[in-house]
Structure 1
Amino acid sequence: MRKLFWGGIHPEGHKDLSRGAAPVPAPLPAQVVLPMLQHIGAACTPVVKVGDQVRLGQKIGDGEGVCAPIHASVSGKVVAVEPRPHPNGQDVLSVVIENDYMDTPDDTLKPHLTHKDLSAEEILRIIRDAGIVGMGGATFPTDVKAFSALGQVDYVIINACECEPYITADDTLLCTYPEQVTRGTEILLHALTPRHTVIAVEDNKQEAIRILGEALPKAGPIELRVLPTRYPQGAEKQLIQAVTGRQVPPGKLPAAVGCAVFNAATAAAVYQAVYEGKPVTRRIVTVTGDGAAAPKNLIVRIGATFQQTLEAAGGMSEETQKVLSGGPMMGVAQKGLSVPVLKGTNAILCLKGAAPQAQTPTCIRCAKCVSVCPMHLQPLYLYRFAQAGNLRELERLHLTDCIECGSCAYSCPGQLPLVERFRRGKQQLKEANRA
Structure 2
Amino acid sequence: MSIFPLAGRFDPARLFSFRGGIHPETRKFLSADCVIEDMPVPQLIRVPLQQHIGVEAEPLVQRDDIVLKGQLIGKARGPVSANIHAPTSGRVIAVGHFTAPHPSGLPVPTITIRPDGADQWGPRLARLRPENAEPEEIAAKVAEAGIVGMGGATFPASVKLNLRAKYDLHTLVVNGAECEPYLTCDDRLMRERPEEVADGIAIMARALGVRQVIVAIESNKPQAIEAMGRHKSVLGYTLRIKAVPTQYPMGSEKHLVKTVTGKETPARALTAELGIVVHNAATAHAVHLAVRYGEPSISRVVTVSGRGVARPANVRVPIGTSVSDVLAHCGGLVEEPQRLLLGGPMMGQPIQNLRVPIVKGTNGILALTKAETRKPGVMPCIRCGLCVQVCPMGLTPFEFNTKIQAGDLDGAARVGLLDCISCGCCSFTCPSNIPLVQTIHYARGKLAEKEGRKHRQEETKRLAAARTAREEAIQQAKRDAMAKRKAEMAAKKAREAETGTKPSAAEASLNGESVK
Q: Could you state the TM-score of these two structures normalised by the residue count of structure 1?
A: 0.97
Q: Which residue of structure 2 lines up, in the alignment, with residue 95 of structure 1? A: 111
Q: Aligned in 2, Cα 1:359/1:289: closer, same or farther, shift over 3 Å?
A: closer
1:214-269 CA deviation, whole Å, 9 max, x = no partner? 12239952110111100000011111111111111111111112110000000000
Contact residue 213 and residue 237 of structure 2 kept, 8 A? no
In 2, Cα distance between the equivalents of 1:33 and 1:320? 24
Distance 2:50 2:280 in 1: 20
CA distance in 1, matches of 2:343, 2:26: 14
Residue number among 419, 428, 435 corresponding to 2:446 in the alignment:
428
Q: 1:271 to 1:244 in 2, by over 3 A?
A: same
- Following TM superposition, the consecutive aligned residue runs of length 4 or more in structure 1 with deviations greater than 4 angstroms are none
Question: Does the Cα contact within 8 Å between 1:149 and 1:260 map onto a contact in 2?
Answer: no
In the alignment, what sits opposite 2:131? 116
Q: Give the counterpart letter for 1:129 in structure 2.
A: E
- Residue 261 of structure 2 corresponds to residue 244 of structure 1: yes
Aligned partners of 1:388 and 1:263: how far apart in 2?
39
Q: Aligned-pair distance for 1:149?
A: 3.8
Aligned partner of 1:293 among 294, 304, 310: 310
Q: 1:383 aligns with which of 382, 386, 401?
A: 401
- Give CA deviations for 1:399-425 in whole Å, capped at 9, x if unaligned: 122111110011111111101110011
- In 2, Cα distance between the equivalents of 1:135 and 1:119? 24
Tell me which residue corresponds to 1:83: 97
Query: What 5-or-longer segments of structure 2 have no aligned partner?
Result: 1-13, 454-516
Q: CA deviation at 1:377?
A: 1.0
Please give the alpha-carbon distance, in whole angstroms, between the structure 1 residues aligned to 2:292 and 2:120. Answer: 19
Preserved contact between residue 310 and residue 316 of structure 1 (Cα < 8 Å): yes
Checking the alignment, whether the CA contact within 8 Å between 2:404 and 2:443 is kept in structure 1 is: yes
Structure 1 residue 108 displacement after superposition: 4.7
SS at structure 2 position matched to 1:317 = coil
Q: Per-residue CA shift, 1:102-137, capped at 9, x if unaligned?
A: 12212251123x202111111111000000000011
d(CA) in 2 for partners of 1:94, 1:360? 38
Give, as a single letter, the amino acid of the residue that structure 2 aligns with 1:20.
D
SS in 2 for 1:342: coil
Correspondence for 2:62 among 46, 49, 67: 49
Deviation at residue 357 of structure 1 after TM alignment = 4.9
Q: 2:343 aligns with which of 326, 338, 345?
A: 326
Q: Which residue of 2 aligns with 1:69?
A: 83
Is residue 37 of structure 2 the alignment partner of residue 24 of structure 1? yes
Paired with 1:149 and 1:349, the residues of 2 have a C-alpha distance of 37
Task: Work out the CA distance in 2 between the residues paired with 1:419 and 1:255.
Answer: 27
Question: Offset at 1:356?
Answer: 3.8
Higher helix share: 2
Q: Deviations for 1:134-153, whole angstroms, at most 9, x for unmatched residues?
A: 00111000011121244522
Please state if 1:276 is matched with 2:293.
yes
Alignment of 1:400 with 2:408, yes or no, is: no
Task: Look up the SS of the partner of 2:361 in the other structure.
Answer: coil
Cα deviation for residue 180 of structure 1 reads: 1.5
Shift of the alpha carbon at 1:361? 2.5
**Aligned-partner residue type, residue 319 of structure 1:** E
Give the whole-Å Cα distance in 1 for the aligned partners of 2:271 and 2:297: 25
**1:386: how far off?**
1.6
SS of equivalent to 1:427: helix
- Which letter does structure 2 place at the counterpart of 1:170? D
Paired position in structure 2 for 1:191: 207
Aligned pair count reads 434
Matched, 1:15 2:28: yes
CA distance in 2, matches of 1:318, 1:97: 31
Correspondences of 1:158-307 after superposition (within 5 Å): 158-217=174-233, 220-307=237-324
Structure 1: unaligned runs, 5 residues or longer: none
Is 2:169–2:276's contact at 8 Å kept on the other side of the alignment?
yes
The answer as to whether partners of 2:124 and 2:295 remain within 8 angstroms in 1 is: no
Aligned pairs (5 A) from 1:332-411: 332-353=349-370, 355-411=373-429
Which SS does the other structure have where 2:332 is aligned? coil
CA deviation string 1:265-323 (max 9, x = no partner): 00000000000100001110000001010101011000000000011111111232221
Superposed displacement of residue 391, structure 1: 2.2
Letter in structure 2 aligned against 1:363: C
Q: Normalising to structure 2: TM-score of the pair?
A: 0.82
Amino acid paired to 2:140: R
Q: Using the alignment, how far apart are the partners of 1:101 and 1:338 within structure 2?
A: 20
C-alpha RMSD over aligned residues: 1.4
Partner Cα separation in structure 2 for residue 107 and residue 23 of structure 1: 27
Cα distance in 2, alignment partners of residues 153 and 49 from structure 1: 43
| Match among 157, 161, 172 for residue 173 of structure 2 | 157
Measure the CA separation in 2 of the matches of 1:355 and 1:286: 18
The amino acid across from 1:139 in the alignment is: T
- Check whether the contact 1:305–1:340 (CA below 8 A) recurs between aligned residues: yes
Equivalent-residue separation in structure 1 for 2:377 and 2:340 (angstroms): 23
Correspondence for 1:133 among 141, 145, 148: 148
CA contact (8 A) 1:306 1:338 kept: yes
Indicate the SS of the match to 2:160.
helix
Indicate yes or no: 2:153 matched with 1:143.
no
Q: Distance in 2 between matches of 1:144 and 1:101?
A: 35
Give the 3-state SS of the residue equivalent to 1:3 in structure 2. coil
Report the Cα offset of residue 82 of structure 1. 1.2
Q: CA–CA distance in 1 between the matches of 2:317 and 2:36?
A: 10
Counterpart secondary structure, 1:221: strand
Give the deviation of 1:358 after TM superposition.
Answer: 4.9
Contact 1:358 1:414 in 2 (8 A): no
Post-superposition offset of 1:5: 1.5
Deviations 1:188-217 (A, max 9, x none): 111112122111000000111111111223
